Amino acid sequence: MPTIKSPPNGATRFPIIISYPFSNWYSSLWESEINYILTSKLACQVPAIVVSVDYRVAPENRLPAQYHDGVDAILWVREQTLNPNSEQWIKDYRDISRTNSELQNSTDPLLPLCAQDLVWEFCLPKGENRDHWYCNPILEGPNTSAVSKLGRCLVIGFCGDFMFDRQQEFIKLLMRHGVQIEALIHDFGFHSIDLVDMGWANTIMAMTAPRAAQGVSRNTLS
C-alpha cells in the first residue's frame, strides 16, 4: 500500500498492480528484502496497491505450476474486487475503474489519465469516486429507466480514443434498453479529433447532418 495518509472514505482510490517478483521460477525471492524494497517503492511512486505473488519454484514444482499460481493471483484479486466481504484494505482503497483503452492511452497528449482523474476529482461530489452514476452511465441511477425513451441515436467513435471502451459500454447500455442505434467506429483517430483536424470535423458534420434531419440524436465520445 502507498504510505500516504488516506482515510477509507472512498475519496482516494489506487490502481492494483500484480507483481511477479523476478520470475526466475527456481528461487523464491518473495520474502526477500530486495523484493520488499522494490514493491514498496513502486507502491509509493505510482501510487498503487502492489500485490506480490508468492509462486511455487522448481525443481520441486515444474512449469506450468508457476503460471497457474500467477493466474490464481489474478483471479483472487478479481474475486476481492467483486466480493462485498473482501479484504478490507482492497475494499477501501482499490480502484478498478480503469478500462483498457484508458490505460493504453494513459499519456494522451490532450488529456492524460492523471488529468482525467483530477478533473473528476474537481467535479464529483466530495467523497465520491468514478464509480458514480454522474460519470459512469452504466451504473444504475435515478434516470436509468428513462434511457429506453431515447429516440434513434448515432454514436461516432475512434479506436485511438481513451474513452473507446467506455463508449462500447455505452452502446451496449442503449441496446439493452431497446434504443435504436447506429454506431460508426473508425480504426484511426483520437479524443476530440474534430477540434484539431478540420477534415475530420467536416466528416463528422457530413455524417451527422442527414441523420439529424431524420431526428437522430448524436453522441460523439471523441
90 and 107, same domain (yes or no): no
Q: In the prediction, which pLDDT does 175 show?
A: 93
Q: In the prediction, which pLDDT does 222 show?
A: 43
Residue 113 is assigned to a structural domain of this protein: yes
CB atoms within 10 A of CB 34: 10
Residue 5 is assigned to a structural domain of this protein: no
Pairing mode, if any, of strands 16-19 and 49-52? parallel
109 and 85, same domain (yes or no): no
Q: Which of 79, 96, 113 is the last residue of a domain?
A: 96
Q: What's the domain count of the chain?
A: 2
44 and 142, same domain (yes or no): no
Residue 2 is assigned to a structural domain of this protein: no
Model pTM score: 0.54
209 and 122, same domain (yes or no): yes
83 and 170, same domain (yes or no): no
CB atoms within 10 A of CB 21: 19
Distances (CA, A) of 6 to 92, 135, 207, 217: 10, 23, 47, 42
128 and 109, same domain (yes or no): yes
Whichever domain contains 198, its CATH number is 3.40.50.1820
132 and 216, same domain (yes or no): yes
Spell out where 35-177 has E strands: 49-52, 153-158
Strand, helix or coil at 143? coil
73 and 112, same domain (yes or no): no
Question: What residue ranges of the chain have pLDDT lower than 70?
Answer: 1-12, 23, 95-97, 212-222
Q: In the prediction, which pLDDT does 208 show?
A: 76
117 and 213, same domain (yes or no): yes
For the stretch 159-198, pLDDT in tens is 888 888 888 988 999 999 999 988 989 888 888 887 788 8
Residue 77 is assigned to a structural domain of this protein: yes
Residue 10 is assigned to a structural domain of this protein: no
Residue 82 is assigned to a structural domain of this protein: yes
Residue 1 is assigned to a structural domain of this protein: no
Q: In the prediction, which pLDDT does 113 show?
A: 78
106 and 216, same domain (yes or no): yes
**All three cell numbers of 79:** 474475486
Q: Which of 96, 124, 147 is the last residue of a domain?
A: 96
Residue 8 is assigned to a structural domain of this protein: no
210 and 144, same domain (yes or no): yes
Q: In the prediction, which pLDDT does 200 show?
A: 86
Q: In the prediction, which pLDDT does 211 show?
A: 73
For 156, the domain range is 102-220
Q: In the prediction, which pLDDT does 218 show?
A: 53
Q: Which of 65, 96, 127 is the last residue of a domain?
A: 96
111 and 85, same domain (yes or no): no
Q: In the prediction, which pLDDT does 104 show?
A: 78
